[in-house]
Each structure stands twice: as structure tokens, then as C-alpha cells.
Amino acid sequence: MGVVANFIRERIPVSGDQLRELTNEPVPNHLRRWWFCLGGTPAYLFVVQIVTGILLAFYYEPSPKAAYESVHYITDEAAFGWYLRSVHKWGATLMIAAVILHQMRVFFTGAYRKPRELNWMVGMCLLICTLVTGFTGYSLVYEQLSYWGATVGANITDTVPVIGVYLKKLMLGGEVYNERTLPRFFMLHAAVLPVSIVLLLGVHITLLRLQGVTEFQFEDEPEDGPKHFNFFPDHLYSELIIGLVLMILLSVLATVLPSTMGPKADPLTTPEVIKPEWFFYVTFRWLKLFSGTAAVLSMGFIAFTMFVWPFIDGLVRRWWPKSEFSVFAGIFAVIAIVGLTTWEALVKH
Amino acid sequence: MKLTTKKSIIGALGLLFLCSLVLVQWMEVARRSEEAGLKEPHITVPATSVACVNCHAQTTAGIIDHWKGSTHARKGVGCVECHQAQKEDADAFNHYGQLIATVVTPMDCGRCHQKEFKEFTLSHHSKAGNILASLDNFLAETVEGSRVNFNPHSPTPGMTPVVEKVNGMASAFSGCQQCHGSKVALKSSDGGAITLDDLKPGPDGKPTNADAVAKIAKDSNGKPILTANTWPNTGIGRINLDGSRGSCSACHSRHDFSPRRARQPENCGKCHLGPDHPQKEIYEESKHGVAFRDLKDKMNLDAEKWVLGKDYSQAPTCATCHMSGNMRNGGKVTHDPGERISWTNRPPVSVLMDTDKDHKIVNETDPEKRRALIADTWQDKRARMMDGCTTCHTSGYVNNFYRQYDDLVILYNEKFAKPGLSIMKSLRDNGMITKTEFDDKIEWTWFLLWHHEGRRARHGAAMMAPDYTHWHGMFEVAQRFYTEFLPEARELAAHSAKDGKAAQAKAVNDVIDAILARDEHKWFKEGAEGQTEMIRKAMQERYGTGGPVAKSEEKSEAKTEAEPKK
Amino acid sequence: MSEETTAQPESPERRTFLGTATSLLMAGGLAAGYGGFAAVVGRYLYPAKPEKKGWLYAADAASMKAGDSFTYRTPTGATVAIARQGDSGEADDFIALSSTCPHLGCQVHWEGPNNRFFCPCHNGVFDPQGKGTGGPPSEAGQALPRYPLKIENGLLFIEVPLEKLDGGSAANEACGHKHPGAC
């Protein structure tokens, strides 16, 4: 043992103390409460997505000629292919849900406030990357809804003033959905976006480590008790428990509600009912409420507002230090989002 | 939470995760076994047919798609295996480097399906083309159409090319021959047609008459031209250029040759239906047909061997009784339905199916000579049919059924068919009707009596459709006989007498009188008041006075109708 | 393993024992769960079946006399020499050998009079059972690979690897891009 340890120590000159220093960040006590672990959940699911995504890519062929058949092969012929595909799909759903919940927790606890404004903005970038990954992934199956979803998405981009038309061409690799479109979506989904997410996560966690986790004091905790506990192994165990619960949840969801396949994409027939994935219901409903450019511009404005919210909130608090403005704004936003999503989910058109 | 608790929870959750994976594994196995039955079989294009499939998937996609669903596709039998031809074949042509022929004949199918080819060739089905010189064909070719093409009498506006000649045989070609089979013909360079009569094919199907072969007209691609009169045609008795008879695709529709379809009554219903032999409708009315309609989904129609009593027993279809195997005959399938038929109800008078070594019906009446000629008795045939019946019914039940059937056939034969035949013979012998069929009214009457109504009655009894036996059958036979056939015969005799042929008229009337004097016809002349009284009494005993009452007016009505109409 | 933050008043032995036991339990659970998942992944990545095989029609048995042979092409394009070597009417009369010489991949052919398969490239000779009897294959102890055969209703069937029809193979494209009439 000693020989091996020495061999390694000589070649990787990191001392145990340094390692402990690096990993054993003191974790604030409030993280003993499970809902504060929502930040780790999307990260764990992201790993699941990477693993299952790589596995799916073993059989997936990103060309309009073969895409549908290859997904069909994965779903119906490859051993456990249906399971891995279903886990990937449910993983995406849970990951987006977890990201949104994490963001809501950060928002309502005011954890984005000075000096953490930039990390909020990095988080916003992560949110956008996650949503776009979901959108492109959905398009890869090349079933009817994938195709028409992508077409509609591209045409929404088109309504953006000035740059929209170029964005659309860039997105589709041509004027309309063509045989070079699917490889584009695949590269975005399987390379560009995951790498972006990894890099952004790196920044996100680095900033978190540099600034430390926002600390909260809860009323039921003793004032004089220890304020921190160890990341290793205590918090790691918590994360392991969350990970396993997620794996079990994913397996059960995949078995009970496995991903199926709709009819193959047919560029000549638009399906009667066309809907995006649930996480785009809000946008979809919004676009139906307002027409064309107005809808897109207002969406852009809302996104921008969310982006710079820490500064807006800062300004407001400078003028009215006691105001609960951001909480009310948050409640309003949540009601609006839930309302629009439910509305879209309940109606056919 | 304590660390030990957390660790325990992690351990438990890890095991739970494993359990969920066991659930996944169970799902996987369930899916596999479910798919095993549903999955489309693996299709392979044999190397010889890759070029055909590639091209025809674009040009005639339906054929390829159909073929993909066939057992042939699954077993590596492609296009060339069936369509291949030798250069000596009259209809062979070079198609992108392959020598092929358009029409695939039973001889071609028989290269692999030898037993089926042999049985089918011996069957009555394969000889269906022999009607080309029969009474029915006379109807289509002469009565309905014209044996010579004739000039149209006024233009058909808009028709291109302009109708120069009316195809007098159109009814025969599109009607008779689509069931019975055409005599396949190639265009001749002198404008005529070349059939097997000209080609004189040898036993190997190759033409022996080089002169006829030399005259075959070809299109710009060197392909012999099949005449539109005779192709397309999937008539079961098609007379092919290679001398083989019939068409396997009559029942095994190309290009999937589905056994499933051949097992279903609709397949036979292309031809076995209508006023003269409504077998399909009779079947549908029978208990058998009703059960089939209800239980079709459970009939295991895709089974490889479809043995009654083993693979299914919900209901019999046409194929079940007439062709398919059953548990009691060891699953023996035959492609000669005649092997199981004990009566032929085709002619005016039903005949028992004692057949000679050539599968021809023995008409000899002398018992000694008859016995010597018979190779296969009607009892043998019935016993083969009964193997199927007794897979579901007891032999006592089946024997009694056959007794009912035989009784009905014999009743029809003795009461109407034989007398009708003798009256027709007498009319012809005495010069009251010509030798030409269908130029005298009574010939139509007689034809309807036996060819339509008489067959309906007999087929109805054969396949358990009481309404066809009675109302569409015997009732109409009787009505036709008493109210049309006899009065028309009498009228012909009366006309003859008026024309000074008293002796001939008497001869005919004597035949009719002798028939009407028989016990079974007595009521018609002498009345049957006593009988109606008897029936009424019996009815009243059974049902009380509210029961149906036979009215004497009915009989007087019948008598008025019996007056000559001419 | 430090448990200072959650220290509880328990005897040290019990603590150690509990700690070890739960650690083992945790390690076991994790190994079982994620190990199971890894097994699923391995099964997914391993090809379902090495290749799909099927019995395909090859010839009408009666059309061949003893000594006759012909070249059969499998759907995947491989050539197979099928020869009849007896008259018993059984599948054993026939032999189906890969025509590819195990030496350097040339195509062998059947020489009826000499009762042997012959490879013209380096004078390789194989006996009727495909065993190398002369030339390089004999020296290396090589034989021609055999395909299983069976006779059903007088028809000879051969078991060969199959290829999928709709696999987007070159086959469908050969015609598709051309004018249909040009095929």
C-alpha cells in the first residue's frame, strides 16, 4: 500500500490537507433542509443526461433519412434502449423542473443580491441553455411534432426585428427545414450546449465557492449551535440520497410512462394539434396572446428583465429599503407562469 | 440526521434502485415476448432480385410493398424465382438483362409447389376454362354479346380512339372469363392472336410450333404483347401459353400470396356468389358463417398450418371444409376441392360424384360396368368431407345432416329436374323448340328453374341456409315449374296443334299429363282441399284457432296465373 | 471519517461497529444500484445478436443432379458454392461452401470431374467437404466455411446472414436519384 501511495503522491503532488481544503467547504446549516439542495439536483440530473445522452448517441443517426428509424431501433430493438431513452426524456423534464425550482428558491430567498448578481446572470444563461437543449433534443426524434415544433420555432425566430431572418437561416442552415437542419440541431444538443453548460456550471460553482453560500438563520435553530457542517461526508451523503431517489424516480417513470414514438415527420401534413414540450407552454401561450413581433419583443423584454433583476431589485431597495417589491413581483411572475402553462395544457388550440 | 442513518438510507435506496432496475428488466422481457408475435418478420431481398426491387419500389411501389408482406419475401423467394423464363418460352423477354415473362402460370408455381400444382391440375377448378364452349358461354358470347365484332350504330361522343368496332365478346371477357379464365393470347404480327392452340406446347411448356413463335408481335422493347381481351386475367381456369391450366393467383392474390386471405370466404366470393350459385351468401346465412363473422379474430388465420381442431375451431370457412386440413385427417390439405364433394349440383339433375381415374364423373348406369369404371366413389369423397365435419360434430349428427341434404337433392331431382328435362326433350324432339338455346321463351324459363333456383335450393341445403333452400330455392322452383314452365309447354303444344301437328302436340301433352298424374303432382290437377283441411286441423290442435288459416283463394289465384300468358 | 458535528453520546465500540456496518451497507447499496445500472448499459451497448440469420430458398432439389453445382449469392452479397454430391434425396447430398478461399480471399469453383474445389490464385485445392487438401490452404490446415442446408417439400433452403431491406442501404438510392425510366 505504502509503495502505491508513494508512487501516486510523487506524481500527483497534492497533499491530503490541500484536498480537504478544496473539497471540505463548510456547509451552512440551512442546507440540512432538503429544499436548499435544489441546486445540486439539476447538476446530478445533468450528469444523468450526459451519460444517457452518450449512450443514445451510440445508435442515433442525425439525418432526416435515418433519424426516425434509428430512434425506432433504440426504442424497439436495442436491449433496454426504451429504458435509457425514457430516462433521458424524464431526466430532461425533471432537470428543467429542478432548475426552475432552484431559481425560484434563490429568488424568494433573495440569494441573488449583492454581491451575487453576476452568479444570478450566469444562472439565467444556464436556464436558457437548458431550455434550448430541451428544444433541440425534442427535435431529434424527427417525429411529426419534432418537425413542426422546429419549424414553428424557426419562424418565431424569424419575427425578431432586423436579425431574426439571419438567426432563422443560421438555425435551420437554409431558408426552410432541410436535410442540413437535423445535424445542426444534433451538434447543438449533443456538443455545443452541453459544453456551454459545463463551462457555465464551472463559473457558477466557482463564484459560489468564492462568495460562499448565502447563509440563513432559521428561528427554530439554536443561536449558539454550530453554523456549519462538513461538506464531506455529511453533505455528500445528502447528495447521494438525492441522486438515488432521482434514479429510482426516473426508473419508475421510465417503466410506467415510457417514451413512445409519434408518426414520422411529414413535411406535407401539419398535425391537427401541435404543442411544444410543457416547459414551452408559457411561451407558446404568450405567442398566441400577442401577435408576431410584439409577442417576440415582449418575450425578449421579459427575459432581459429577469436577467438584470438583481440590479433592478438593488435600485428599488436603495430607494425603499424596506419594500417587499421583489417578493410581490416574484409571486406575480409565478402565478402568470403557472396560469399560462395550465391554460395551454387545458386547451387544444 | 445522523451520519449512520444517512448511510443506512443510502444503502437502502441503492437496493431500491436495484429493485427498480429489476422492474425495468421485467418490462424488457415482457416487451420482447410481446414483440415476438407482433414484430414484422425480417424481409430479405434475394441477391437475384435486388435490381428488380430497387426499381419497382419506385415505379410500382404497391407490388413491392405487397411482396414484402409475403411468405415468399421471408423465405428468400424474389421476383426472378417466379417470373424467370427460358428463351424458348413464347412470352419470354429480356428485361434489363433478365429473361422473364409477365404471366406466372401454375406450371411456374409448380416448380416449387409440386404437390399443390398436381392436385390443382386434377381439380375441377383448373378446368373452369372449359366453359369456353358451353351453354353459359353461349349466353355471354352470343345472347349478351356477339361472336363477331360489329359496327357501332351511332357515335360515342368524346370517346377516343373513335369506336370503329364493338367488341362483341366484351361480356365474355370481363364477365365469364374473369372467373373461368381466359385463353391467354399474344398479339400476332398478322394482326391476329396466338394462343396455346397455335404454339402447341410440349409437356415442358415450351412451344413446338416454330411458325407460330415467329409470328409473335413484340413492342419496341422486344416484349411480346398480351392481348387486352385475355390479360389481365386471374380466372381460375385460365388456359395458359405453356399449356398449364388455371391461375394460382385466383385465390392466392399476387403479390403477397397470402394464405390468410385464401382462408377467408371473401376470397371465394369473387366468383361463388350471385343468383346462380350464391355459395358466399348461403355461407353467410349459415350458422358457420355467422360464427365466423363473430369469431374471426380468434380464427388464427395467420397460422402456418391451419389445422381445424388444433389451430382453431371457432368456425369453418369455405377453405376449412373444402380444402384445409383438420385434426381427423392428419392435417391433410388438398388443392382439389372435388376430393370432398359427394354431389355435383352444377347440372340440371344432381349427380353423385363417382369419378373415374381421370377424375371425370362416371355416367354409366349399369351397376357392374359402373363399379369397374369408378376410381373414387362419392362415399369416399363424403368420408373425406366428414373428417372435417366430425372434428366438431358427432358422426350421428353429421349422418343425419347428410340425410337431410340427400333428401332435398333427390326431391328436387325427382319432382322437378328430371320431369323438366323430359318435357324439354319432348319439346325439342317434337320440333316445338329449336336446337338453338335461348331463342325460345321456355328455354329461359327452364334455365332459370335449374340453373338459378334449382341450384340455390340444393346449395342452400348443402351448406345449411334454410332461406336459400326454401324461399330462394324450392319455392321459386315450384312457382317457375307450375306457373311458367308447364303453361309455356302446354301453349307450345297448343300452337303446334293449331298448326296441324296434332300428333306432336299429343306427344308433348302426354309427357306432361304423365308427370302431373304422379302422386307428388296430383294436387295440382285434382286439388288439395282435403290436405288443406288436414293442415288446418293439425294447426288448430297445435296452436288453437288463432293460427294461420290456409285460404282456398290462394289456390284459385295460382290457377289464374297458370293461364297461358302469350 | 469524522463525525464531530453529529457527535452523540454513544459508546465508542458501538459507534465504530455501527459506522463500519452502515458504511458497508452504503457501499453495498451503491454498488448494487449503480452496478445494476452499469449492467443495463452494458447490455444495451452489446449487439443484440451478432447477425440475423434466416433460411432462404436456394434451389429446387430435383433440378440438380449429382455433380451439379451453382453459385448462390446471399443477400449480403457473399458467394456460396452449392453442389450436389449424392442421390439419396436428403439434405446431406448437398453441400454449401463459402466460395471465398481462406488463403487470400479468391473465389474457388467446383470441379466435378476432379471431385474438388479449386482456387485458381495459388492452386488451392479443397475436397468435397471443403477441407484443404492441396496448396496453401492444405499447409495451413484451412477449410472452406460451410453453410447449413435443409430440404423442405423438395426445395433446398440455405441458412445465411440476412440484411435489412429498409436499412437505407445503397440499394434504394441506386434508383431513387435517377429518373424512374432510366432504371
List the single residue in C with minimal CA-CA distance to A234. Answer: C3
Of the partner residues C6, C37, C43, the one whose CB lies closest to the CB of residue A79: C43
CA angle B36, B39, B44 (to 5 degrees): 115
Confidence of residue C14 (pLDDT cuts 50, 70, 90): low
pLDDT at B565 over 60: no
pLDDT greater at residue B323 or residue C102: B323
Touching subunits for chain A (3+ Cβ pairs under 8 A):
B, C
Cross-strand bridge partners of residue C70: C82
Task: Examine residue B255 and say whether the peptide bond preceding it is cis (omega within 30 degrees of 0).
Answer: yes
Task: Examine residue B419 and say whether the peptide bond preceding it is cis (omega within 30 degrees of 0).
Answer: no
Shortest Cα distance, chain C CAs vs residue A70, angstroms:
10
Q: How does the average pLDDT of chain B come out, rounded?
A: 90
pLDDT value for A76: 85
Boundaries of every domain in chain C: 10-45, 53-163
pLDDT at B27 over 70: yes
CA angle B473, B478, B484 (to 5 degrees): 120
pLDDT in tens, C96-145: 888 888 888 888 887 878 888 888 888 888 888 888 888 888 888 888 88
Q: Does B55 touch chain C (CB under 8 A)?
A: yes
* Closest C-alpha among B447, B246, B413 to residue B337: B246
> The domain spanning residue A138 has which CATH number?
1.20.810.10
Q: What share of chain B is helix, strand, coil (3-state, %, to 5)?
A: 55, 5, 40
pLDDT at A7 over 80: yes
Shortest Cα distance, chain C CAs vs residue A74, angstroms:
9
Say what the ipTM of the complex is: 0.81
Of A221-235, B527-541, C5-19, C119-133, which one has max mean pLDDT?
Answer: C119-133
Confidence of residue B1 (pLDDT cuts 50, 70, 90): low
pLDDT value for A136: 92
pLDDT value for B545: 65
Is A322 part of any domain? Answer: no
pLDDT value for A261: 87
pLDDT value for B552: 47
CA distances (Å), origin B452, targets A184, B103, B140, B485, C112: 72, 34, 16, 14, 65
What is the rounded distance in angstroms from the CA atom of residue A139 to the CA atom of residue A189? Answer: 10
Q: Does B54 touch chain C (CB under 8 A)?
A: yes
Task: Examine residue B161 and say whether the peptide bond preceding it is cis (omega within 30 degrees of 0).
Answer: yes
Boundaries of every domain in chain B: 56-149+166-250, 263-393, 428-526
Amino acid at B336: D
Of the partner residues B43, B47, B53, the one whose CB lies closest to the CB of residue C74: B47
Average pLDDT over residues B207-232: 93
Cβ neighbours of A119 (radius 10 Å): 21
Q: Does B15 touch chain A (CB under 8 A)?
A: no
Give the number of domains in chain A: 1
Average pLDDT over residues B338-346: 95
> Three-state SS for C150?
strand
pLDDT at C21 over 90: no
pLDDT in tens, A221-278: 555 656 666 667 777 888 889 899 999 999 999 999 998 888 888 888 888 877 888 8
CA distances (Å), origin A303, targets A104, A118, A296, A333: 15, 16, 10, 12
Q: Does A260 touch chain B (CB under 8 A)?
A: no
Confidence of residue B37 (pLDDT cuts 50, 70, 90): low
CA angle B123, B124, B128 (to 5 degrees): 125
The answer to whether B112 contacts C23, with C-beta atoms less than 8 Å apart, is no
Tell me the fold of C53-163.
Rieske Iron-sulfur Protein (2.102.10)
pLDDT above 90 covers what percent of chain B? 74
Confidence of residue C67 (pLDDT cuts 50, 70, 90): confident
8 A C-beta contact, residue B281 and residue B467:
no
pLDDT at A281 over 90: no
Picking from A101-115, B101-115, B232-246, C105-119, which range would have the lowest pLDDT averaged per residue? C105-119
Confidence of residue B8 (pLDDT cuts 50, 70, 90): confident
pLDDT at A178 over 80: yes
pLDDT value for A293: 81
Q: What is the DSSP string of B141-159?
A: IIIIS-SS-B--SS--TT-
pLDDT at A209 over 60: yes
pLDDT above 70 covers what percent of chain A? 88
Average pLDDT over residues B300-317: 93
For A89, the domain range is 28-209+231-274
Residue B201 neighbours by CB under 8 Å, 6+ apart: B90, B207, B208, B241, B242, B243
Average pLDDT over residues A292-312: 88
What is the rounded distance in angstroms from the CA atom of residue B220 to the CA atom of residue A129? Answer: 64
Average pLDDT over residues A325-334: 88
pLDDT at B76 over 60: yes
Of A25, A54, A230, which to mutate for an interface test with C (greatest number of C Cβ within 10 Å)?
A230
Amino acid at B507: A
pLDDT greater at residue A97 or residue C166: A97
Picking from B179-183, B556-560, C167-171, which range would have the lowest pLDDT averaged per residue? C167-171
Confidence of residue B554 (pLDDT cuts 50, 70, 90): very low
- Chain A residue numbers with beta carbons less than 8 Å from the beta carbon of B42 are none
pLDDT at B42 over 70: no
Q: How does the average pLDDT of chain A come out, rounded?
A: 86
Average pLDDT over residues A190-200: 95
- Chain C residue numbers with beta carbons less than 8 Å from the beta carbon of B58 are 175-176, 180, 183
pLDDT greater at residue B105 or residue C3: B105
Is A254 part of any domain? Answer: yes
pLDDT value for A227: 64
Phi then psi for A51, rounded to 5 degrees?
-65, -55
Q: Does B4 touch chain C (CB under 8 A)?
A: yes
pLDDT value for B268: 95
- Chain A residue numbers with beta carbons less than 8 Å from the beta carbon of B13 are 241, 244-245, 248
8 A C-beta contact, residue B14 and residue C28:
yes
Q: Does B10 touch chain A (CB under 8 A)?
A: yes
Of B2, B3, B6, B25, which to mutate for an interface test with A (greatest number of A Cβ within 10 Å)?
B6
pLDDT greater at residue C8 or residue A218: A218
- Chain C residue numbers with beta carbons less than 8 Å from the beta carbon of B43 are 164-165
pLDDT in tens, A99-122: 998 899 888 888 888 888 899 999
pLDDT above 70 covers what percent of chain B? 93
